Structures are given as structure tokens and as C-alpha cells.
């Protein structure tokens, strides 16, 4: 493999706060360490279409604090085919790109793995509000999304308390319960439902609410994960079985945007540096990860096979704290 002189950077899959901070870090660290950096718009779709421009130190000015991604993101069907990946690698080579930094989630890394199998060096940076990437203890955007959801639920609780109401609040997370669990702890929810743990409506939802009412509680929050869904149906059943007026609120896309938190900015900056450092050292086909509290990296194939269980102590803590 020849020495890497020019790198491409793209964001792919769902957007997450901190993606801009990561792009900025890759661009500034890359240029600072003597590389050329090309920005690829709209993820793999933009790569296939050649939507590629050289980035300068100034192209990433004034974006550290912005949510979303200045490079924009997309989901690209063509790229999931053999021909699409081959074309993407060809276009990258035409633009003089020697290696690709992919900022995104598991799906994006599967695409990156396909690129590496076509002999194209890649590095992944984990970014998704859902924190559902098995190889890394942390994914960019998670902390900001938690803060956004917490702030919204604090407001919902104010009004629930004023009316003796119950609220079923659905938070994002795709098939994972990381957001739901931490938000439940942070907002003192009475009940938390996550896709990883089967639940019984009578035992795990209705009974704790009735017990809470008997202990004198005046408002009730049920955090329901997107992976379970059906929040309206759950709300109707709660109202029927407990007699407590119950509303469902689906927080939705407000959880994705917003200015990244300190954690997301700092983490994104370090991860971007780590990605560039790996490439400069000639190490590639790796994902930058947080492991045992430190930023390090893992082979991309191994990274995709790694699972991260939901911390079961978290569920126990959420239950005890809701007493």
C-alpha cells in the first residue's frame, strides 16, 4: 500500500450532533499533519455521484457548535450493491483519495467494510444518537440527545403534575434502549420500557403506577423506547386499567438536532484526531472506539461483530429511584 496523502471524509446514515465537530477535527488534524482532505457530500450517494470538494482550514470555520452535518448525509441503496461499492471506490480514486473516513453508524460501517474489501482503506468514527454501536462505549450525539429529551420531559412532567396525569413519552433509539434507560434515570420516570427486556403490561406497567399512586404520587412518566413503539396504545391501556388520565407524546426528531454538548464536541474532536493519526501511521480498516474510558481503535470486521449489552444495573437503578 502506498503512503496515504489525501483522505476523504463523509457523514452517512442518520445525522447526529457532533458530526460537524468530527468533520472539523478530521479536516484540521488532517491538514495539520500534512494531508489533503476532500469533503464528500451526502454520504455514499455523493461519493458515487462525485460530489466532492477539497476542504481547507477555513471550510470548517464556525461549525463546531452546530448540529446536523455540513457535509449532509443520505441513505444510498445503490451503495449496498457490489457494483455500487466498486463504483464508489473508483470515483474516490479518480478524485485522488487514498483513504476514507466514514462518520456514521453500524450501517455506514458495513458499507465501509465493503469498501475495504475492494482494497480501499477506511476508518470509521461512531456517530449516532442511539448509542447502538456494539464496539464503542460511546457514540457521538448520544449525550446531546439525552439532554434534549430530558429537557422536554421535565416540561412534560410540570404539566402532568398540574393535572394528575400520566404521560407515555416515546424516545428514539431504533432497536436499542440506551436513550430510554438514561433518560428514565435522568427524569425520574416511574416506568421504563426497552426493547431488550420483555415486559408484562399488568405486572411491569399497571402495577407500579397503581403502587405509585397509593404512595401518594401525583404524576407519572412512562419512558417508552422507539423499538417498542405503540405509545398511543400503551397510553389507552394505562388509562383504562388505572383510571389515570394518560397522554402519549412522541418526541421524534427534536432529539436529533441542536448544538452538541461539551462531551460530544470534545469526544468528536479526539475521535477525529485519532482517525487521522491512524491513517498517518498506515493503520486502516479500523473503527475509532471508546473502550474502558479511553479512545482507541478496533479492526472494522471485529468492531461490527462486537455486541454491547444494555447495562442491567441501569434498569435496577431506574426502578429503585422511581419508588
Binding site for ligand ADP (CB under 6 A): 12-14, 44, 75-76, 79-80, 104-108, 110-111, 114, 128
Residue closer to ligand ADP (CB basis): 114 or 190: 114
Residue closer to ligand ADP (CB basis): 50 or 243: 50
Residue closer to ligand ADP (CB basis): 14 or 67: 14
Residue 111 beta carbon to ligand ADP: minimum distance, rounded to whole angstroms: 3
Instruction: Provide the b/e sequence for 40-53 (b: ≥16 CB within 10 Å).
Output: bbbbbbbbbbebbe
Residue closer to ligand ADP (CB basis): 132 or 190: 132
Q: Which of 308, 284, 305, 16 has its CA nearest to residue 137?
A: 308
Cβ 171 vs Cβ 226: under 8 Å: yes
Tracing cell 471485529 back to the chain, one arrives at 302
Residue 3 beta carbon to ligand ADP: minimum distance, rounded to whole angstroms: 28
Residue 187 beta carbon to ligand ADP: minimum distance, rounded to whole angstroms: 26
9 beta partners: 39, 101
Residue 105 beta carbon to ligand ADP: minimum distance, rounded to whole angstroms: 3
Residue 176 beta carbon to ligand ADP: minimum distance, rounded to whole angstroms: 11
Beta-carbon count within 10 A of 135 CB: 25
Identify whether 130 is a catalytic site residue: yes
User: Which string of DSSP letters, residue by residue, matches 229-249?
Assistant: --HHHHHHHHHHHH---EEEE
Tracing cell 464556525 back to the chain, one arrives at 62
Nearest residue to ligand ADP, by Cβ distance, number only? 107
Which of the following is catalytic: 15, 98, 106, 130? 130
Distances (CA, A) of 73 to 51, 79, 257, 290: 12, 14, 13, 23
Residue closer to ligand ADP (CB basis): 110 or 290: 110
Residue closer to ligand ADP (CB basis): 218 or 253: 253
Residue 19 beta carbon to ligand ADP: minimum distance, rounded to whole angstroms: 11
Cβ 171 vs Cβ 187: under 8 Å: no
3-state percent breakdown (helix, strand, coil) of the chain, nearest 5: 45, 20, 35
**Distance (Å, whole) CA 204 – CA 208:** 6
Q: 80 exposed, middle or buried (CB, 10 Å; 0-12, 13-18, 19+)?
A: middle
| Biggest CA pair distance of the chain | 71
DSSP letter, residue 253? G
| Distance from the Cα of residue 208 to its chain's centroid | 31
Active site residues per annotation: 130
Amino acid at each position: 500500500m502506498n503512503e496515504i496523502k489525501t483522505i476523504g471524509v463523509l457523514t452517512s446514515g442518520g445525522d447526529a450532533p457532533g458530526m460537524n465537530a468530527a468533520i472539523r477535527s478530521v479536516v484540521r488534524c488532517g491538514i495539520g499533519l500534512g494531508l489533503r482532505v476532500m469533503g464528500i457530500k451526502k454520504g455514499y450517494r455523493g461519493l458515487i455521484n462525485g460530489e466532492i470538494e477539497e476542504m481547507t482550514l477555513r471550510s470548517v470555520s464556525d461549525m463546531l457548535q452546530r448540529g446536523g452535518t455540513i457535509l449532509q448525509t443520505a441513505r444510498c441503496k445503490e451503495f449496498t450493491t457490489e457494483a455500487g461499492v466498486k463504483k464508489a471506490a473508483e470515483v474516490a480514486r479518480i478524485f485522488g483519495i487514498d483513504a476514507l473516513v466514514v462518520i456514521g453508524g453500524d450501517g455506514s460501517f458495513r458499507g465501509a467494510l465493503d469498501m475495504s474489501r475492494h482494497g480501499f482503506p477506511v476508518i470509521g468514527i461512531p456517530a449516532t444518537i442511539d448509542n447502538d454501536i456494539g464496539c464503542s462505549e460511546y457514540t457521538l450525539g448520544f449525550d446531546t440527545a439525552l439532554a434534549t429529551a430530558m429537557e422536554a420531559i421535565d416540561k412534560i412532567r410540570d404539566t402532568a403534575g398540574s393535572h394528575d396525569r400520566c404521560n407515555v413519552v416515546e424516545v428514539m433509539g431504533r432497536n436499542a434502549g440506551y436513550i430510554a434507560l438514561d433518560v428514565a434515570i435522568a427524569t425520574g420516570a416511574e416506568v421504563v420500557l426497552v426493547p431488550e427486556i420483555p415486559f408484562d403490561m399488568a405486572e411491569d406497567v399497571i402495577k407500579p403506577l397503581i403502587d405509585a399512586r397509593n404512595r401518594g404520587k401525583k404524576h407519572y412518566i412512562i419512558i417508552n423506547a422507539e423499538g417498542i413503539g405503540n405509545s398511543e396504545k400503551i397510553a389507552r391501556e394505562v388509562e383504562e386499567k388505572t383510571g389515570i388520565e394518560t397522554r402519549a407524546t412522541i418526541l421524534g426528531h427534536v432529539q436529533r438536532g441542536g448544538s452538541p454538548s461539551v462531551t460530544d464536541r470534545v469526544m468528536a474532536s479526539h475521535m477525529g484526531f485519532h482517525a487521522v493519526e491512524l491513517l498517518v501511521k498506515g493503520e486502516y480498516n479500523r473503527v475509532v472506539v471508546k473502550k474502558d474510558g479511553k479512545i482507541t481503535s478496533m479492526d472494522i470486521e471485529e468492531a461490527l461483530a462486537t455486541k454491547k449489552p444494555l447495562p442491567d444495573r441501569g434498569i435496577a437503578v431506574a426502578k429503585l429511584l422511581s419508588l
